Structure 1
């Protein structure tokens, strides 16, 4: 009889604990959340993140605090997130390039399978740009012809990915370029605007010059033509079989419960439909708002990694790492 009572008590305890776990999942979030941005304050990713945080806090009923953890092109934030046990209370908002190309270009403590990709919310608008009054104008074809005739034509690079892309293009077109490393758009813009560099990679800085025309776009590195520069061809349209499309995505550790991921996704989806996020993204940053669910994001990132691996193999390794 005593054993039966003990067994019943243990069963009741197990049921109670299970019920508590369900309640905790249903109650998510029950405390403030932290949205980590892997870039410095004031950039376009940070600006978007702060608007997202405000809107999400209203939907979730808890504060969403933004913390900047810049470094390694967003890699510092992801390295810390990979070891998080916050079950969705801490999440990163960043660019897909950090997860797709980062582990291929340098040694990292994370890879694609260390995270769940809650949703993609914005399509990147990176580009190859130039300045005004260049001898080749603002046409990609004319730039290629000019560079073929003028060895040492200068290109300002910011990331390992854009360096790989331009090396591939140089190989295809027979170009002998002078590569000028820069640190972000703030380092690139003065070189382009002054004429010290012929053309350059831009992650989004060019959008600030859409009205003045001081920074014409030669090529779109997005999947489609750029919203603010529709005349610039994409990489495939220019004859290069490369998918360098960037999405901005919210990420959580792989051990995050389904219920928590789903609740975050609901809040993110509501944010993409909010006029405040649409205004800051489409009118100020000049990037299209999108909605890409977890499964679609994960597949896109996986496919992109395989494409980059093939490109690296074709080049015989990454530029600067031979």
Structure 2
């Protein structure tokens, strides 16, 4: 049996540890936060994350540093964060590809359940893009061209969301392409405007600058955008489904709830800032700020849909 003196000492130690732990959480963040983007620089994930990071660091009072760690169709950087300490100082740029698609269609050392979703900032519509001097003036001509010879199409990994959505679009349209995989959508667009590949599936932050500079042309995209008037949508061609990506931030599983709350509080403020909203508009990203249980429930439901699709296609 413990002596009264030892019992009091144990209680005092426990109280001290609890107070210290609470103080540590209350003080978050006390040092720089790094956000891993598992893709190359210049793509939609990179640009949307940098806008968010630059804005929230002013609210948090510490540097929020974006680090590109591409490779393996997003698996390298995402796996790195899945193994990181769940203290809120290492976060991952999360999106349709690395969180919902890739873990279902290829073997990865992580799954959706390896992370705690923090916040979503934007969504972006997928598009099929060609160089300005391409012989394919519209999507009908592209389909005919793909049926008469092998056309190349840039994407960012065999099991990436881009390739999987592109396959669905091609199947419904009745054509095939040869995929050329790059480290990200931005790298694919460089290949398109350089004349190295015939087309690419891409998102506005990656193709927008090339279109505005008259180096590239959009043939078709998931939804209409004021920034790109007159472009037909997939539904205009009878293609069924939703083809778009999104960008947000997740933390390693087990991150303290207080950390998530602080990151969300900072995000809520910056998403009302006209300069931040304009920055997203300038790169062609649609602000789609979401967080909390309802959003997480939607993510899990979408993850289950891709799980079913992966099981279906594996039986073919």
State if a TM-score over 0.5 links the two structures. yes
Q: Would you say 1:41 and 2:41 are equivalent positions?
A: yes
Q: What displacement does 1:316 show?
A: 4.9
1:157 match: secondary structure: strand
- 1:219 equivalent to 2:240? Answer no
Quick one: distance in 2 between partners of 1:122 and 1:81? 21
Could you tell me how far apart the structure 1 residues matched to 2:238 and 2:304 are?
A: 20
Deviations 1:236-277 (A, max 9, x none): 554334333211111101110100111011122223233443
Match of 1:208 in 2: 209
Distance in structure 1 (CA, Å) of the matches to 2:314 and 2:36: 35
Rounded Cα–Cα distance in structure 2 between residues aligned with 1:198 and 1:291: 34
Is contact 1:38–1:76 with CA below 8 Å preserved after alignment?
yes
- Alignment correspondent of 2:102: 102
Instruction: Give the distance between the partners of 2:97 and 2:224, measured in 1 at CA.
Output: 19
Change in Cα spacing, 1:238 to 1:295, as seen in structure 2 (3 Å) is farther
Deviation larger for 19-28 or 303-312: 303-312
TM-score when scaled to structure 2? 0.83
Does the residue aligned with 2:62 lie in a helix, a strand or coil? coil
Secondary structure of the equivalent of 1:31?
A: coil
1:137/1:214 Cα in 2 relative to 1: closer, same or farther (>3 Å)?
Answer: same
Q: What RMSD over aligned residues (CA atoms) do the two structures have, in Å?
A: 3.1
Counterpart for residue 149 of structure 2: 152
User: How many residue pairs end up in the alignment?
Assistant: 311
Q: Which structure 1 segments of 5+ residues have no match?
A: none
Q: Name the counterpart of 2:263.
A: 264
Q: What is the deviation of 1:96?
A: 2.8
Deviations 1:168-212 (Å, cap 9, x if unpaired)? 34433433x341414244554465446675543123432113335
Q: By how many angstroms is 1:84 displaced?
A: 1.2
The 10-residue stretch of structure 1 (296-305 or 62-71) with the greater mean CA deviation from structure 2: 296-305
Distance verdict in 2 for CA 1:12–1:194, change over 3 Å: closer
Q: Distance in 1 between matches of 2:11 and 2:79?
A: 41
